[in-house]
Chains A and B, each alone.
Chain A
């Protein structure tokens, strides 16, 4: 565990108490079974905003608390533990980071206070295929009048049904996989020509495919410099990935702890199954992996807070290590629970589905291993 400030400890304790009491896994299950159209419960999200969780990385001048990324990671770890479905990652982390890092004074003033208050849900609309390839952008933005016209489509937009603000990567020049020539735009969710299709995913959260049919935006919708959006996007994505890694760590820790409890209580052959060395060693291996994963996640989040030059490689490391760990733990959760873990009534399946969805989001382990190798020059 990283050395936390007093404020951070209080935030973590508050987050733990609230998620355990107000948003346990049973709440996520109820949300899933009710077929909630947004993929989360707006009343629950409003409570989270009320506690200030939507403003943790936002400067005080724009209505936030400016506690930093490690602090937000502590909250996300707790929501990940109970599989709480909320747009915090998409709006209060990803969209807020984009505005903080790339926004003009006017753009920040227009959007950040509303994001901090939980009134606006922002999200990134960047991928165009089944795999995370942020440099692969075909959606076109052409100059028209004083602004731009956007045409194309985006896939698997997180909180795509709820979002009021879409941060869209578009091509203003260059070839389809050229990092140069990508620009970012702030597109209001109700803009004419924005069409959403809800996706029913295994993890029951609210993603959508979104098409942009000649969507007209003003020049003030451009985030950062024209054609230079990719460098900004990478920085934004690394912040989102680090927070996602914290959420995944929480899911992995809880999946492990639930499994460990079962090893201590399930009796077969006249003894608790946790007395079998074959299972003990697998539990020990998972615990070791979780400890290593935690170090990577905390290092990545701290690096962001310290504006370290190692952010990108530490984030690639964290997303990979925690991804591999969650993959293993979620599989073992089912296997070690045996038949009961295969039933829909048990939580193991919920963790397994969340695991694969988060692994695939913003680059899976293979993507980040490759990225890490490139950054290290091999």
Chain B
């Protein structure tokens, strides 16, 4: 358990402050609507939402542990946890999100220079600019370091040519943090980390339709895109190190460890009693299904306990480690299982695609089940995470070290 000790009083004072501030600023009309945000980056919109986003942005509490100097909340990890608990208690949720908050911001704070941080962090804190991630390419998926997008030094600017794929939300993004090849003679050391304004001439995005029917990802094409020299983050050829760090932030965010139950609101047991029925003792009628629901619930509990334990054990705010691979694999597997179980529980009602005959929850379950298949592929596939666990945690030899 976290050791609050002497800090107790101080923390209690913060709790009272947070409670009062949230009471004054969180519009009750938005209560519990945060799940929509989490799903596919969609905001509920409206005046209340805008006011809430503005309030949280100005307070810096959407990015609670980021430094005050760049507009962040400047809170300690303990204070941030207290804030989260107070928000949960009244059904409030964080309106500041996206890749800028989850991945790019923490990475830029670590690797960016002063000018880059002053320019790019405050708009992320206020939720004003959206970022997308230009990493994967058609030939560079799990083998990300084989990426080919060319970046040439033209003296007063960089010239970028190439194609990215799986660029989440590129069609709406203002900026892209991108991995580019600045040296073709070295694999990992030839990669640099570049920030590209999506409005630059030569940037083109094309949404990809997924099996869920939605298009949260794009193909992004760069044709003779001129990028200012100051948009290089870190040293030339130092992009791979930054990317690895950023991907750890991504894994931590994708595990669902912070997000409670994942996509669905209703518990599996409640759903099962509705769709399958309960026996005279109130148990789920189908004992086979009941056993599998219990197994998933118990695994989920173990996963949450692990998330709590790792938080408690983190003495300082050191950020994610290789252990986040464990959380990503366990969390995504459990969420996919839950989606499969939800479908099975709903039976034929869980096969609807659109139109009459199905509730909104049923249709969302089907689309969510399909969309969720991507979680073990993106952000480093489950296979890549297992390689990381094997190599970096277990110290097993890397059969690919030659490549």
Q: B residues within 8 A CB of A279? A: 383
Q: Interface size of A by Cβ–Cβ distance < 8 Å?
A: 48
Given A200-B355, A268-B141, A349-B211, the answer on whether A342 and B383 have CB atoms closer than 8 Å is no
Do A366 and B344 touch across chains, with their CB atoms under 8 A apart? yes
Do A130 and B348 touch across chains, with their CB atoms under 8 A apart? yes
B146, B213, B370: most-surrounded residue (chain A CB, <10 A)? B370
Which of these, A131, A201, A343, contacts B209 with CB under 8 Å?
Answer: A343
Question: B220 interface residue, CB < 8 Å from A?
Answer: no
Question: B294 interface residue, CB < 8 Å from A?
Answer: no
Complex CA gap A109/B287 in Å reads 44
Q: Considering the complex, give the chain B residue whose CB is closest to the CB of A276.
A: B383
Instruction: Output the least CB separation between A376 and chain B (Å).
Output: 15
Given A129-B347, A201-B352, the answer on whether A334 and B210 have CB atoms closer than 8 Å is no
Instruction: Output the least CB separation between A72 and chain B (Å).
Output: 25
Interface residues of B in 386-403 (CB under 8 A from A): 386, 400, 403
Q: Interface size of B by Cβ–Cβ distance < 8 Å?
A: 47
* Number of A-B residue pairs having CB atoms within 8 Å of each other in the complex: 122
Complex CA gap A200/B377 in Å reads 28
Do B143 and A130 touch across chains, with their CB atoms under 8 A apart? no
Do A338 and B381 touch across chains, with their CB atoms under 8 A apart? yes
Interface residues of B in 320-348 (CB under 8 A from A): 343-344, 346-348
Complex CA gap A278/B353 in Å reads 34
Taken residue by residue from 163 to 181, chain B's Cβ proximity to chain A (1 for < 8 Å, 0 otherwise) reads as 0011000000000000000
Q: B residues within 8 A CB of A267? A: 139
A200, A342, A367: most-surrounded residue (chain B CB, <10 A)? A342
Instruction: Output the least CB separation between A115 and chain B (Å).
Output: 25
Question: A357 interface residue, CB < 8 Å from B?
Answer: yes
Complex CA gap A271/B143 in Å reads 10
Given A197-B356, A200-B355, A334-B373, the answer on whether A130 and B350 have CB atoms closer than 8 Å is yes
Do B357 and A197 touch across chains, with their CB atoms under 8 A apart? yes
Do B208 and A343 touch across chains, with their CB atoms under 8 A apart? yes
Interface residues of A in 266-283 (CB under 8 A from B): 267-271, 273, 276, 278-279
Complex CA gap A218/B365 in Å reads 43
Give the segment of A9-17, A202-210, A303-311 that binds chain B. Answer: A202-210
Q: A residues within 8 A CB of B376? A: 335
A131, A341, A364: most-surrounded residue (chain B CB, <10 A)? A131
Question: A348 interface residue, CB < 8 Å from B?
Answer: yes
Taken residue by residue from 237 to 250, chain B's Cβ proximity to chain A (1 for < 8 Å, 0 otherwise) reads as 00000000000000
Instruction: Output the least CB separation between B9 and chain A (Å).
Output: 51
Do B383 and A268 touch across chains, with their CB atoms under 8 A apart? no
Complex CA gap A339/B213 in Å reads 15
Which of these, B139, B209, B211, B354, contacts A200 with CB under 8 Å?
Answer: B354
Given A269-B403, A271-B403, the answer on whether A130 and B381 have CB atoms closer than 8 Å is no
Interface residues of B in 95-109 (CB under 8 A from A): none
Which of these, B288, B344, B353, B356, contacts A369 with CB under 8 Å?
Answer: B288
Q: Considering the complex, give the chain A residue whose CB is closest to the CB of B376.
A: A335
Question: B366 interface residue, CB < 8 Å from A?
Answer: yes
Question: A356 interface residue, CB < 8 Å from B?
Answer: yes
Complex CA gap A334/B353 in Å reads 19
Question: B136 interface residue, CB < 8 Å from A?
Answer: yes
23 pairs, CB–CB < 8 Å, chain A vs chain B: A130-B275, A131-B276, A131-B348, A132-B347, A199-B357, A202-B353, A202-B370, A269-B142, A269-B146, A278-B386, A331-B373, A334-B211, A334-B377, A335-B381, A339-B141, A339-B377, A341-B377, A343-B211, A344-B213, A352-B373, A364-B347, A366-B289, A370-B288
Q: B residues near A, CB below 8 A?
A: 136, 139, 141-143, 146, 165-166, 208-211, 213, 275-276, 286-289, 292, 343-344, 346-357, 366, 370, 373-374, 376-378, 381-383, 386, 400, 403
Query: What 9 pairs across the A-B complex have the smallest Cβ distances?
Result: A349-B211, A130-B347, A268-B143, A366-B288, A131-B347, A130-B349, A200-B355, A156-B348, A344-B209
